[in-house]
Amino acid sequence: MFSKYSVKLELEKTFYGEIRDPLLGDIRLYRYEMEIMNTSQFQRLRGLRQLPGAEYVYPSMTHTRFSHSLGVLGLAIKIVNNSDLKLQDKDLRLLRVAAMLHDIQEPPFYNAVLHESFVTEELQYAIQAKNIKAMFLECEAKQVQLPVNPQEVIELLQGKNKQYLKAIINCEIGANRLDYLQRDSYFCGVKYGLIDDRILSSFALEDHNLVLKSEAIHLAEDILHNLYQMKVNVYDHKVVRSVLTLIRDAFRDAYENHNVELEHIFAMTDDEFLAKLGPDVIRRLKLRQLPKLVYELNTFSLKNPSIATNLDKLIREKEDSLIKYIAKHSDLKPHDIRIEPVELRRVGDADPLYVLYRRKGWSERSDSKRSYEKRLLQESSRTIKEWSEFFYEQWRVFIFCFVGETWDISKIDAVREKVADACDKVLGFLKYGEYDRSALPEFKEMFSIYTKEDPKEIRKKVFEQTGLARHILELFIKNSRLTTDQAGTILKCSRTSASLILNKLAEENLVTKERTGREVTFVLRQNVSEILKELFQPEIIVK
């Protein structure tokens, strides 16, 4: 189909036009790149905001995928030139086109649409290939001579060929990430995305792999720290998530009612997409009548943060049950409540990048593989490794409520208080280490996840117990459930002393607390029971 394209062996000597960018200055384009930019598929990017929903917090955050795509092209070329990567002309042409088209498959409101399970990665790849081929055909119809083949561009962007070129665009500190961090922070008016320009001259090519020079690791640390700050303060802002909740809810309904065709969505702009979702969504966005945040749970509020991964999965599975329970105990209707878990992501979600270490005695003329070694970026810096883990652990779940148009602040505050009470009954053990047995039975699974711990750590904690604490643990061998009154009576100590010890054991996750009304019962964890039977020969018989 594309046999008519003739591939030149050298780049055009002069540029055909230039684009003025507020961050990068002039971005120069060849004639064929200008024609690609003028295709209907690329012009659609003018109607796709880079971060939909953020304009309700940061009013100037209205820049588009169009400017971002040109920015990635500009930064990719800066990396090649400043780092002196010495690419062949054919590779350089391919890189330029791929950088321009890396987001050509993005749908409107991508941060709501792409998180639905029925929007698969295979579909996105198919849309990407379809769009790129259509653009090349449109250029061919205008008698424009293109120096690259569309299939080469598709294979590069999908990671099937020339990984070193794709890495320039999409590695952990590639042109894509560098541009959106700078561009997003610039239009938000925050300083989190500032990038040291020295990073652009810190790359090299070794064995057809893009690598980062070891002396630039501290620059990479700054970039990943900035990414974390942007995620917490901008990308996952509660108002941004509120808008996405509204859009995602309407999109799911429209898809289930066959009001929108999935493939057609990828050809729409933001405004065209909103029109398909109905007048109610448009009215709410126009008047800023967004769902209100009524409850939040995050990693910092968890008593045992290590369970975030399992908890995220479980909340998604039990979402309907949780919504019904909250509605029942807060005088709301289930269709007015939405749960929005913030997905877990790693810093290294992009293509991995290696760091190049030159060994002692290496010379510029040496081509021996023994003269250097490569390590993954996250293995090259303790700071980056810790940031990556910390970034991944920043789990959050928002619970939103659709408020009535006539609600005032006092009404919203009253709803928040009722929802918080209902959520604490089900999820409160995550904060306080207590489980209310009157809550949903299926959430006991969450409690079992919460109490998981390494057996070696449990043995160590048991050995450390002395005096009254040791005697109370021995009591649990014969009777797995105790109240403070029972423990005090059997051991002939005050109720206060028994309560202090039992609560201390609960803090160390050796026992758990179940609350029924005002009565608190302490329950020995199953794996602790097995260890106690091995370690202790109980002399106290519980009647």
pLDDT, tens digit, 9 for 90 and up, residues 138-174: 998 888 888 899 999 999 999 888 889 999 999 889 9
CA–CA dist 393, 209 (Å, integer):
30
Q: Looking at residue 9, what is its pLDDT?
A: 32
- Separation of CA 122 from chain center: 20
* Strands 511-516 and 434-436, bridge-based pairing: parallel
Burial class (CB in 10 A: 0-12, 13-18, 19+), 63: buried
Stretch 112-137: mean pLDDT: 89
Q: Looking at residue 458, what is its pLDDT?
A: 58
Q: Looking at residue 42, what is its pLDDT?
A: 95
The residue extents of the domains of the chain are 17-215, 238-346+394-450, 455-535
With CA atoms as reference, report the closest residue to 125 among 266, 282, 285, 17: 266
Is residue 49 within 8 A of residue 243, CB to CB? The reply is no
DSSP 27-42: EEE-HHHHHHHTSHHH
Higher pLDDT among residues 343 and 94, named by residue: 94
Model pLDDT for residues 462-479, shown as the tens digit of each residue: 656 666 676 776 777 667
**Quick check: 217 pLDDT over 70?**
yes
Mean pLDDT of the residues in the chain: 80
Stretch 231-235: mean pLDDT: 88
Stretch 41-47: mean pLDDT: 95
* Strands 519-524 and 481-482, bridge-based pairing: antiparallel
CA–CA dist 119, 498 (Å, integer):
55
This prediction's pTM: 0.76
Which CATH code fits 455-535?
1.10.10.10
Stretch 515-538: mean pLDDT: 65
Tokens of 6: 């003739």
Q: Looking at residue 360, what is its pLDDT?
A: 55
Identify which of 145-149, 264-268, 537-541 has the greatest average pLDDT: 264-268
Count of other CB atoms within 10 angstroms of residue 417: 12
CA–CA dist 282, 115 (Å, integer):
21
Which residue reads 């961050």 in tokens? 23
**Quick check: 181 pLDDT over 90?**
yes
Higher pLDDT among residues 508 and 180, named by residue: 180
Burial class (CB in 10 A: 0-12, 13-18, 19+), 281: buried
Model pLDDT for residues 272-314, shown as the tens digit of each residue: 999 999 898 999 899 888 888 888 887 766 666 666 666 677 7
Q: Looking at residue 130, what is its pLDDT?
A: 94
At 232, the amino acid letter reads: V
Main-chain dihedrals φ then ψ at residue 359, nearest 5 degrees: -85, 160
Alpha helix (H) residue ranges in 158-211 = 163-170, 175-188
**Quick check: 122 pLDDT over 60?**
yes
- Gap between the terminal Cα atoms of the chain: 87
The CATH classification of domain 17-215, taken from the options 3.40.50.720, 3.40.50.12500, 3.40.50.300, 1.10.3210.10: 1.10.3210.10
